[in-house]
Structures are given as C-alpha cells and as structure tokens.
Amino acid sequence: MTRRGLLVILSSPSGAGKSTLAGMLRDWDSTLSFSVSATTRAPREGEVDGKDYFFVDVDTFTGQVDRGEMLEHAQVFENYYGSPVAPVEAAINEGRDVLFDIDWQGAQQIAKSALRDHVLSIFILPPSIPELHRRLISRGKDDPGVIERRMQKSWDEISHWDVYDYVLINDKVEETAERLKNIISAERLRAKQQPDLMKRILTLKEEFEGRS
C-alpha cells in the first residue's frame, strides 16, 4: 500500500451543488467511490437498491445503529439516513478514497469516529440565497412545499461552515471542481496517509549510517 484512503465529506444546503461536484470528481478519478447510504425513505423512480441507497425499513435501520454498524446517521425530515461502517473501513484500508454527500451532523459524527484521522471535510456554499432558491426550482425534483422546507433548513446548514476543513463558494461549478481536485490531491500526500513512510525513513537512516 502506498497510501491510506480518505473519507472525503462534501456538505452543503440542498441546491448548492455538492452532488454535481461529487459526480465531477468521479469523472476525474474513477477510483473514487461513493459511500452508499442506508435510508428508510422510499426509492425514487430509477433508483436501484444497493447502488443509489440501501433501502431498509425503520426497524432494520435502528437495529444497525444500535449494533454500531453505522459510521454516521441522522433523521432528515421524516426519514433516516446513515453510512454503513464496514465497506468504508475496508476501502480506506485498501487505499481507496470514499466520497460522502452528507449534512453537517453526519460530518461531525464521522469527524469524531475511529476513522477521524482520515477525514477530509469540505463545505460548499452557494453564491447567494436567491441563487440557491433558483437552483432548487430549476432542478425540478421537488414540489413547492418541499422546496420551501429546504430553503428554511438552508441557514441551519450554512451556519455550521466553521467545523469543516475547507469551505468553497460554488459560483462557477467548473472552477469549484478544480479547487476540489487540488485539495484532494494535496491531502492524499499528508504523512498520516502514507503507511509505508516510516519504513522508508528507517531505510534512509540505515543508508545514512552505513556510508563508508
């Protein structure tokens, strides 16, 4: 192994563009994998169980939480969402990065977990509140009542920007994606992400001491 994987957390209020940016990161590096969340909400049209989400009932979900099988979990509106820990831990131990599209509560739970040393958290801000509202309408996924609820929740999300490692304003999505790539590339080189580094240092020490 040349490095450990990163837990790359992307958070933002709904409509700020984190899902689009996550997709662009996957196009940039196909080895990046999304953390497949478990949820108690019903599947939307076209969603596939085990690919988009693990769709489970409430009893199954709460049982997994009670057994410590969730890296993070939260209730969003009427539904529960969570990230199963086993596949994430396996990925980072194999040197593969995992993307998380989650809210600030989930980000904080992961940041306090046993995997916290490998967390890279990034918050995505909208350029303005009117633009956020426009994006929610233009994507055409929700009815007006849901959009208004998402707008009401947006400031609660934004107010937690300061617990993240990086904060980016998503004004122009292509430029934001480039900044994300630069951040991830640099974080991959941190000393704590290189499990073989000490072995290399010891080899250099032996070579130094063995000079004739």
Instruction: Count up the domains in the chain and report the number.
Output: 1
- pTM score: 0.82
Q: What is the pLDDT of residues 171-181, one digit of tens each?
A: 999 999 999 99
Q: At CB < 8 A and 24+ separation, what contacts does 188-194 make?
A: 188/3, 188/6, 188/97, 189/3, 192/4, 192/117, 192/118, 193/3, 193/4, 193/6, 193/118, 194/2, 194/3, 194/4
Q: Give domain status of residue 13, yes or no.
A: yes
Q: Give domain status of residue 147, yes or no.
A: yes
Does position 97 have pLDDT exceeding 70, yes or no? Answer: yes
Does position 146 have pLDDT exceeding 70, yes or no? Answer: yes
User: H or E stretch including 104?
Assistant: helix 104-111
Does position 141 have pLDDT exceeding 80, yes or no? Answer: no
Q: Give domain status of residue 120, yes or no.
A: yes
Are 161 and 123 in contact, with CB atoms under 8 Å apart?
Answer: yes
Q: What is the CATH number of the domain that holds 14?
A: 3.40.50.300
Q: Give domain status of residue 74, yes or no.
A: no
Q: Give domain status of residue 31, yes or no.
A: yes
Q: Give domain status of residue 86, yes or no.
A: no
* Domain ranges, residue 117: 7-35+96-209
Q: What is the pLDDT of residues 55-95, one digit of tens each?
A: 999 999 999 999 989 999 988 778 998 999 988 999 999 99
Does position 35 have pLDDT exceeding 70, yes or no? Answer: yes
* Predicted pLDDT of residue 1: 59
3-state DSSP call for residue 29? coil
Q: Give domain status of residue 159, yes or no.
A: yes
- Cα–Cα distance between 166 and 184 in angstroms, integer? 11
Does position 47 have pLDDT exceeding 80, yes or no? Answer: yes
Sequence-distant (6+) residues with CB within 8 A of 201 are none
* DSSP conformational letter for 46: T
Q: Give domain status of residue 179, yes or no.
A: yes
